[in-house]
Every structure is written in structure tokens, then in C-alpha cells.
Amino acid sequence: AQTVTQSQPEMSVQEAETVTLSCTYDTSENNYYLFWYKQPPSRQMILVIRQEAYKQQNATENRFSVNFQKAAKSFSLKISDSQLGDTAMYFCAFVYSGGGADGLTFGKGTHLIIQP
């Protein structure tokens, strides 16, 4: 079974700073996807970024980028030029990609607070 660990329950940074959220996972699989989801106070789960394990290039989406280290089973999220609207819970998630779609396995989340 896969496990996902987010070791930072809460982080706080000033607006416009760069922040990195950590995520590690444990799996014996070789083909999988990793995701970061954002959950603002509205509780909507919003996909931030996605990484395919077979791709060496790190995914980027505007101010959001990841550092994917497959050998170390690490998948951190970097948010550049942080904004007040980035305040939310952030969840790292894993899914095996062997065929079809399985359910996501989530970490416990990191509460990110952007201070004005």
C-alpha cells in the first residue's frame, strides 16, 4: 500500500515570499502520478499541479513548480511570489497508473498561511 507523508502541519510566510511544501511517499510501484491539491476555506479541492513519474522534467504551472526526486521519493511544491489567495490547506496525493484509474492516496496536508 502507498503512503504519503507531509511533515509540515503548518507554515506561515510573508506575501511575495517563496515557500516550499514538502511531501514524501512510499511505494513499490514504478509508474504513478503525483498531485498537489489546494483546499481553501471554501473546502473546494482544486488541482494545483500534476507530475508523471516517468517524466524527469519537473512540472510547472505559473507560480507553482515541483521538485520531483524519484529515487528519494520526494515531491515538494514551490510557490513563488506568494499571494494572500494562496492561503489554504495543501495536500499531496499519489495514484498508481498501471491501468484505469485508482483512488488517490492523500497526505495529511499542510496549512499554508500567507501574511500581508
Partner 1 sequence: DAGVIQSPRHEVTEMGQEVTLRCKPISGHDYLFWYRQTMMRGLELLIYFNNNVPIDDSGMPEDRFSAKMPNASFSTLKIQPSEPRDSAVYFCASSLGTASGGYTFGSGTRLTVV
Alpha carbons 84 and 11: distance in angstroms, whole number: 13
4: three-class secondary structure by DSSP: strand
Q: Which single residue is written with the C-alpha cell 511575495?
A: 16
Closest C-alpha among 106, 80, 93, 107 to residue 8 = 107
Cell of 89: 490547506
43 versus 56: smaller Cβ distance to partner 1 = 43
Regarding 70 and contact with partner 1 (CB under 8 A), the answer is no
φ, ψ of residue 51 to 5 degrees: the values are -130, 130
Binding residue count for partner 1, defined by CB under 8 A:
26
Regarding 75 and contact with partner 1 (CB under 8 A), the answer is no
Q: Which of 28, 56, 101, 116 binds partner 1 (CB under 8 A)?
A: 101
DSSP annotation of 85: G
Q: Which of 91, 110, 112, 114 binds partner 1 (CB under 8 A)?
A: 91
Q: How far is the CB of 76 from partner 1 (least distance, A)?
A: 19
64 versus 106: smaller Cβ distance to partner 1 = 106
Q: How far is the CB of 58 from partner 1 (least distance, A)?
A: 17
Q: Which helix (H) or strand (E) holds 114?
A: strand 110-115
Provide the binding-site residues for partner 1, judged by CB under 8 A: 32-33, 35, 37, 42-45, 47, 50, 52, 91, 95-97, 99-109
